[in-house]
Amino acid sequence: MTLAVTYNWTLQQLDVNNAFLNGVLTEEVYMVQPPSFESSDKSLVCKLHKALYGLKQAPKAWFERLKSALLSFGFKSSRYDPSLFTMHTQAHCIFILVYVDDIIITGNSKLAIQNLVHQLSSEFSLKDVGILDYFLGIEVHHSPSVSLLLSLSLKPNISRTFFRKLT
């Protein structure tokens, strides 16, 4: 957010629909036959190829699939924060922050960000939320003076932090 405010970049938010269902399992996982899908032999089980909600492997499988896609698009994973991905070329730089199925994107090229959103939507079912206004319980208010007001409302009027471009 600091980079976005400093350089007057937009902050775009995406939400991945049914994110955990996108995970591909790398280990063998079996489940009992679901109701109404049972064969006459009740001892048979189903072998899963993709993750399901409630499966303990689902979050990791989803993140690995997203990470793989981002790396194939030319992004690099941060050494210090596994949820941060960056791409630096001569023409542009883009930053992606991921929290489970919520994604924030910022960078110096709106066209490159649009292309990235198109690439991601060809790989996953996405909801383009638009300009960032709420993330992890934090309300984000954009002001015309190139600043952000972040408001965390755990209790009324407890915490407000103000970021603005330093001149």
60 close to 23: Cβ distance less than 8 angstroms: yes
- For residue 34, the 8-state DSSP code is P
The CATH number of whichever domain residue 147 belongs to comes to 3.30.310
On whether residue 47 sits in a domain, the answer given is: no
**Mean pLDDT score, 113-122:** 94
H or E element at residue 3: helix 2-7
91 close to 112: Cβ distance less than 8 angstroms: yes
On whether residue 108 sits in a domain, the answer given is: yes
115 close to 1: Cβ distance less than 8 angstroms: no
Q: How far apart are CA 133 and CA 138, in angstroms?
A: 8
On whether residue 40 sits in a domain, the answer given is: no
Tens of pLDDT, residue by residue over 120-153, are 999 999 998 888 887 877 778 777 776 777 787 6
Length of the chain: 167
**CA-based torsion, 29, 67, 59, 80: positive or negative:** positive
On whether residue 82 sits in a domain, the answer given is: yes
The predicted structure's pLDDT at residue 86: 96
pLDDT(163) > 70:
no
On whether residue 122 sits in a domain, the answer given is: yes
Full domain range(s) for residue 116: 2-19+56-164
**Mean pLDDT score, 25-29:** 81
The predicted structure's pLDDT at residue 78: 94
On whether residue 91 sits in a domain, the answer given is: yes
Q: How far apart are CA 167 and CA 6, in angstroms?
A: 9
Average pLDDT value for the chain: 83
Annotate 84-102 with b (16+ C-beta within 10 A) or e (fewer). bbebeeeeebbbbbbeebb
On whether residue 36 sits in a domain, the answer given is: no
Tens of pLDDT, residue by residue over 34-58, are 777 767 777 788 888 877 777 788 8
On whether residue 80 sits in a domain, the answer given is: yes
Binning pLDDT at 50, 70 and 90, where does residue 114 land? very high
Number of domains in the chain: 1
Query: Between residues 88 and 49, which one has the greater pLDDT?
Result: 88
Q: What angle do CA 136, 137, 140 make, to 5 degrees?
A: 90
